[in-house]
Structure 1
Amino acid sequence: MSSSKFPDKAADLSSPAAIPPRERIVSSAADLFRKFGIRGIGVDAIAEAAQTNKMTLYRKFGSKDELLCATLRQVTQRAGAIWDELERDFAGDAAAQLKRWVEFQVDRLEQEPGGCDLANAAVELRDSDHPAHAVVQEFKNSQRNRLAAVCEAAGSSNPELLADTLSLLLEGARVSVQTSGPEGSSRRFRESCEATIAAFSTK
C-alpha cells in the first residue's frame, strides 16, 4: 500500500495533489483570501484546502504574511501579461494598444466583480508597513508607468495626466462594481475612457 496521504489523487496528473505543494498552497490561499478576506482565513484552512499540512506550509513560506505576498505576486504576473499581449498583437500601433487596454479592463470588470485583489488587500491591511503594501504599490506604479508609455507613443497631448486619469477611472469602476453592481456607474467605464482619450488626442 502506498504511504502517500493522497495515493489515488497523486496518481492522477490532473488532480490537485499532482501539483507541487508550493503552487497548491499559493493557489488555495489566493482563492480563500478572495472569498473570506485575509483576516478571515487562517493557515489551517489554507493547508487543508491545499491538501497539505501546516509544517509544509511554513517550510515553504515563513509566515502567513509571506504567503500573502506570494499570492499577490502571482496576481501581478497574470495581470502584467496584458502588456506582452498588447505588444504582440498590436506591434507598432500604440493607439490600438490603448484601445485594447480599455477593452481588456472592461472584460475584467465583468469577470471579477469582487474587484482587484491587490487593491482589496491594501484596503484590508491598514498597516502601511505591512510587506504586502510594497508589493501592491510597486505593481500599481509599474502598471501606471506602462500605461503612460503607451499613451505617449499614441501621441497624447499629456500622456502622464492621461495615464493617471485612466488609472483613476479604472480604480473607481472597480469600487463602483462592488458598491453599486454592474448597472452602476461602472457600466460607463468604456465610454468614459474613450471620451478621456479623445480629449487628450492631438489629432
Structure 2
Amino acid sequence: MSTTPAPSTRDRILDAATELFYAHGIRAVSADKIIERAGITKVTFYRHFRTKDTLVVAYLERQAARERGLLDELRASAGDDGALRRFAATVGTEACKPGFRGCSFINAAAEYAEPGSEVRKVVAEHRTWYRQTFAAMASGLGVADAEQAAEELMMLRDGAMLSGYLDDPDHVGSALERAIFAVIDASQAASSPA
C-alpha cells in the first residue's frame, strides 16, 4: 500500500498562496490570509518566507518550473510540431477552466510596476525562457529567422491568455494553433529559396 507523503509546510504555504494570488491578485491577498488558508502560525510563515515578496517570487518560480516542465515534456514526446499543437490545445483547455484569470506572470507584472523588483526579474527570466524555447522550436521546424518567429509566438501566447480570460474561451486553443502555424508557415516560406 503506497501512501503519498503529506506536503511540506513550505509547499502548503505555496499552495495557499498560489490559490489566493491567482484568484484575487497578489496585492489583494495579505500574509494573514495565506497563514489562515495554510493553517499555520505567523512564526512558521516567516520562518519559510521572510517577506510577502519572497513568497511571490517563490510562487512565480514554482509556476515557471511547472510551465517549463510541461513544454519540455511535450517537446520530448511529440517533437516541435506536435508540441506546438499540444501547447495550443493546453492553453485552450486551461482558458476554459472555471476561475481562469489569464497568465500568472502577466498578472504579477501588472501588479509590480518597478522593472528592477525581484518579482519583475522572475517574470522577465520566464519570458526569456519562453522566447528561447519558441526560437529553438521554430528553428527545428525550418524557420530561418527563429528569433523573429519566437517574438511573434510569444505575442500570440500572451494574446491567447488574455483572450481566454476576457473573451469567450471556447475557441482559444484552435485559434492559437491556427495563428502559431500561420507564423511558422509564413516564416518557412520566407526562408525557402524562390
TM (norm. structure 1) is: 0.82
Q: Does 1:105 align with 2:91?
A: yes
Tell me which residue corresponds to 2:44: 56
Superposed, which structure 2 residues align to 1:88-127 within 5 Å?
88-90=76-78, 93-111=79-97, 113-127=100-114
Q: 1:38-67 deviations in whole A, cap 9, x for unaligned?
A: 111111110110010111000111100001
Distance 1:102 1:186 in 2: 5
Q: 1:10-35 deviations in whole A, cap 9, x for unaligned?
A: xxx779xx421111001101111111
Tell me by how many angstroms 1:87 deviates: 3.5
Contact 1:122 / 1:132 at 8 angstroms: preserved in 2?
Answer: yes
Q: 1:142-194 deviations in whole A, cap 9, x for unaligned?
A: 11101101110111132111111111011012122222232688863222222
Summarize the Cα distance change of 1:185–1:20 in structure 2 as closer, same or farther, 3 Å threshold. closer
Contact 2:109 / 2:123 at 8 angstroms: preserved in 1?
Answer: yes
SS of the residue aligned with 1:200? helix
Decide which structure has the larger Cα Rg and report it: 1
Distance 2:126 2:187 in 1: 25
Q: Does 1:82 align with 2:54?
A: no
Tell me which residue corresponds to 2:141: 154
Distance 2:90 2:119 in 1: 25
Instruction: Give the letter aligned to residue 140 of structure 1.
Output: R
Summarize the Cα distance change of 1:153–1:190 in structure 2 as closer, same or farther, 3 Å threshold. closer
Contact 1:176 / 1:184 at 8 angstroms: preserved in 2?
Answer: no
Contact 2:93 / 2:173 at 8 angstroms: preserved in 1?
Answer: no
Structure with the larger RCO, 1 or 2 (CA within 8 Å, 6+ apart): 2
Contact 2:92 / 2:169 at 8 angstroms: preserved in 1?
Answer: no
Summarize the Cα distance change of 1:151–1:21 in structure 2 as closer, same or farther, 3 Å threshold. same
TM (norm. structure 2) is: 0.85
Summarize the Cα distance change of 1:37–1:56 in structure 2 as closer, same or farther, 3 Å threshold. same
Tell me which residue corresponds to 1:165: 152
SS of the residue aligned with 1:196? helix
SS of the residue aligned with 1:113? coil
Tell me by how many angstroms 1:107 deviates: 3.0
Tell me which residue corresponds to 1:175: 162
What's the % identity of the aligned pairs? 29
Question: Structure 1 regions of 5+ residues with no counterpart?
Answer: 1-12
Contact 2:60 / 2:122 at 8 angstroms: preserved in 1?
Answer: yes
Tell me by how many angstroms 1:104 deviates: 3.2
Contact 2:91 / 2:173 at 8 angstroms: preserved in 1?
Answer: no
The structure 2 residue matched to 1:70, chosen from 53, 58, 63, is 58
